[in-house]
Amino acid sequence: MIAVEDLIALVRNYNPKTNEALIRAAYDFGRDMHEGQFRRSGEPYFTHPVAVAAILTEQRLDDATIVTALLHDTIEDTKASFSEVEARFGREVAELVDGVTKLTNLQLSSTETQQAENFRKLFMAMSKDLRVILVKLADRLHNMRTIKAMKPEKQAKKARETMDIFAPLAGRMGMQWMREELEDLAFKVLNPEGRASIMRRFIMLQKETGDVIHRITGDMRGELEKVGIEAQVFGRAKKPYSIWRKMQEKDLGFSRLSDIYGFRVITDNEMDCYCALGAIHQRWRAVPGRFKDYISQPKSNGYRSIHTTVSGRDGKRVEVQIRTRQMHDVAETGVAAHWSYRDGVRSENPFAVDPAKWVSGLTEQMGAEEDHEDFLEAVKLEMYTDKVFCFTPKGEVVKLPKGATPIDFAYAIHTRIGNACVGGKVDGMRVPLWTRLKNGQSVEIITAEGQMPQGTWLDIATTGKAKTAIRRALREADRERFIKLGRELARSAFENVGKKSTDKALDTAARLLRYPDRDEVLARLGSAELTGRELVRAIYPELGEREGEKVDSTRAVIGLSPDQSFDRAPCCQPLPGERIVGITYRGRGVVVHAIDCEALTAYEDQPERWLDLHWHAGKHPAIYTASLEVTIGNDAGVLGRICTLIGEQKANISDLEFVDRKPDFYRLLIGVDLRDAEHLHSLVTALEAESDVAAVARFRDPARLGATRK
């Protein structure tokens, strides 16, 4: 364990004016509070907080953050209280320790709804003080470095959470070194064979080529000296996980992967960055499409650097990053550079981002998301994606995630532009809306009055902002129709469990489901974004417990012996939720009929063949076909709208037959695959609400008894 004097020396290296007494007091208090506690490795538990504090000294962080690291587990794991920490170390430290404790208790790898809610809490904690996340990331890094002491299943869970959440978050904050180490430590747990194979290939490559890094750094220093540029040049092999990911993305073997080495050139000033770039490009051939200038177009976390890839010795590609010392400090510590100390004072780094503005920009879009699922999507889009920079016709820069389309570009400018978009031009050429934009392209959006977003845009857009605006516009366009339909579906859903759909019940559901009001509940119910079962379960969870169980279609009927199979009678096509009886057949198992099926009259004198059956009460798959007789107006596009409406209700059309054609109407039979009787009722209600539907009814035909179909 690092001694207190050694820890203070680490802080004093970058902050000679550090409050040594405060750090010593925190060290002693943390050690006393954790007395008698041990890690799974057998080491005293306090070795962990001290190691976390040491990691944070590498980022030259302030005294309050170092003290928080030493105390970050005291409120959670010891008898220490918030008030005691506040009395001893001040309000600032107490709130930081409390924030880290709350983050530790969040289950970020839980179900999607819980995960989204916990991400909201995580970003709320970030908005209060970003240092909470810095301590938490250092805490996770040390836990990953010592993960071998944990049980294998716990290792896998922690490693997956690290790969999915903490590593991307570190990268999003600009702490690239931490992201790479977290990814590699998690990779070692999740795919040890893959990592070992990469390491073996590296050893073989070094034997074949020698010390490539030493030779190339020497060549670069020589070229820079020729043009009078003073600079530091560093080279390194990329981390095993970074190489593995490139192999997976590009579907290449290790031998065909070229840019596995990276080099950094650190200059004295910005002008020298561009001069160094010229010298390197003059000596080595630049690889087209692999140049990025983050100095003139910085990332939102303050990152500035020039990236280029060149063909080095033996045609091997190498990546080169060129930046100044101050830019390098931000590149190493990201948003944390705001708190960095140098020579006893807070570093006045002009490239460090204001944490409050950074968090505000990051959470602004996420705060607009109402749905848990949409919020989670927005979080992951923000954390996982790289950026592309495009230009408006006036030369203004628009930042978008990699893979963005003209629709994303339009909504990035203004929601009104996005909603009215009918097309786009890229570098003066008309392109489809699904075109993926590239760095440096000029994009012009073509708009038209009266245009409204299309449902297909959701599959084209990639940014959370665009998807949110499209969903909102689509909901508003159909809102009144969906509210009317939702009211009928809510009435039916409550009646199915013996309850009434009152305004008070709907208000309660809106509060529990985190919707603004009852109209929003009804609109989402009518648009199939919310099911009647989910609505009822929100208020009466005890009525939905068994319904949530998934039912095996082969055991969907209760009352059969283990050796009996069943088929649904095609004459009445009974659905889960309807009263049923079974008729036994020698060699054919059991045919299930609805209790009111006319075909049952043929078996009235054979009571020994009748079985009393009922459907399983759980959640059935949508595989049960029912026939509907639908009369629709004979107008252009009507049939397409009806088919779309059926799809919106999560029903699949399995058969369609025209039975009558007239100049003014069509009558047709539509076979639809449904979950249960409630699903049928929802679909019929939706069709009846459509103005182009003259009539809709369930179709049953006793003559169909000759064939059976499950």
The H or E element that residue 642 is part of is helix 638-648
Residue 251 has pLDDT above 70, yes or no: no
Reference 692, options 642, 627, 619, 618; nearest CA is: 642
| In contact, 310 and 318? CB cutoff 8 Å | yes
| In contact, 89 and 22? CB cutoff 8 Å | yes
Collapsed DSSP state (helix, strand, coil) of residue 521: helix
pLDDT digits (tens, 9 = 90+) for 424-470: 999 888 888 888 888 778 899 999 888 888 888 888 888 878 888 88
Q: Which two tokens stand for residue 261?
A: 């080495």
For residue 480, what are the contacts with CB-CB under 8 A and spacing of at least 6? none
Q: Which two tokens stand for residue 456?
A: 């297909």
At residue 652, the pLDDT reads: 92
Helix spans in 18-164 (H): 20-33, 47-57, 63-71, 74-77, 82-89, 91-104, 112-128, 131-145, 152-161
| In contact, 469 and 408? CB cutoff 8 Å | no
The H or E element that residue 671 is part of is strand 665-674
Place 209 in a pLDDT band, splitting at 50, 70 and 90: low
At residue 340, the pLDDT reads: 64
CATH class assigned to 194-346:
alpha beta
Please report, rounded to a whole number, the percentage of residues in the chain having pLDDT higher than 90: 20
| In contact, 634 and 689? CB cutoff 8 Å | no
What radius of gyration, in Å, describes the C-alpha atoms of the chain? Answer: 32
Cα angle 41-43-44, degrees, rounded to a multiple of 5: 140
| In contact, 82 and 98? CB cutoff 8 Å | yes
Reference 7, options 43, 46, 42; nearest CA is: 46
Q: Which two tokens stand for residue 419?
A: 């909603």
Q: Given 76, 86, 117, 164, which residue is catalytic?
A: 76
Residue 264 has pLDDT above 70, yes or no: yes
Which amino acid, 253? Answer: G
pLDDT digits (tens, 9 = 90+) for 154-203: 898 888 888 877 887 787 777 888 888 999 999 999 888 888 888 887 77
Q: Which two tokens stand for residue 166?
A: 């903490």
At residue 421, the pLDDT reads: 92
Residue 366 has pLDDT above 60, yes or no: no
Q: Considering the chain, what is the average pLDDT of its residues?
A: 81
Query: Three-state SS string across 169-226, please?
Result: HHHHCCCHHHHHHHHHHHHHHHCHHHHHHHHHHHHHHHHHHCCHHHHHHHHHHHHHHH
Q: Where are the domains of the chain?
A: 4-187, 194-346, 385-476, 478-548, 553-710
CA distance 531 to 526: 9
At residue 708, the pLDDT reads: 42
Q: Give the number of other CB atoms < 10 A from CB of residue 429.
A: 8
CA distance 639 to 637: 6
Residue 27 has pLDDT above 80, yes or no: yes
At residue 253, the pLDDT reads: 56
Residue recorded with tokens 């404790």: 101
Collapsed DSSP state (helix, strand, coil) of residue 678: helix
| In contact, 620 and 574? CB cutoff 8 Å | no
CATH topology of domain 385-476: Ubiquitin-like (UB roll) (3.10.20)
For residues 706 and 276, the model is more confident at 276
Q: Which two tokens stand for residue 174?
A: 């600009």
Reference 57, options 2, 116, 127; nearest CA is: 2
Q: Which two tokens stand for residue 690?
A: 């459509």
Say whether 385-476 and 4-187 share the same fold.
Answer: no
pLDDT digits (tens, 9 = 90+) for 459-489: 888 887 888 888 888 877 777 788 888 888 8
Task: Note the residue count of the chain.
Answer: 710
Place 276 in a pLDDT band, splitting at 50, 70 and 90: very high
For residue 559, what are the contacts with CB-CB under 8 A and spacing of at least 6? 582, 611, 612, 613, 614
CATH of domain 4-187: 1.10.3210.10
For residue 21, what are the contacts with CB-CB under 8 A and spacing of at least 6? none
Distances in whole angstroms, Cα of residue 216 to Cα of each of 187, 211, 224: 29, 9, 12
For residues 382 and 470, the model is more confident at 470
DSSP secondary structure, 41-77, as one string: TSSBTTHHHHHHHHHHHTTT--HHHHHHHHHTTHHHH
Pairing of β 589-594 and β 566-568: parallel
Q: Which two tokens stand for residue 568?
A: 């649904």
CA distance 327 to 305: 7
CATH of domain 553-710: 3.30.70.260
Q: Is 701 a catalytic residue?
A: no
Mean pLDDT, range 657-668, rounded to an integer: 87
CA distance 710 to 408: 45
Q: Which two tokens stand for residue 262?
A: 């990276």
Q: Given 77, 370, 648, 701, which residue is catalytic?
A: 77
Which amino acid, 668? Answer: L
CA distance 238 to 318: 10
Positive or negative: CA dihedral 409, 410, 412, 413: positive
At residue 530, the pLDDT reads: 85
Q: Is 77 a catalytic residue?
A: yes
At residue 337, the pLDDT reads: 65
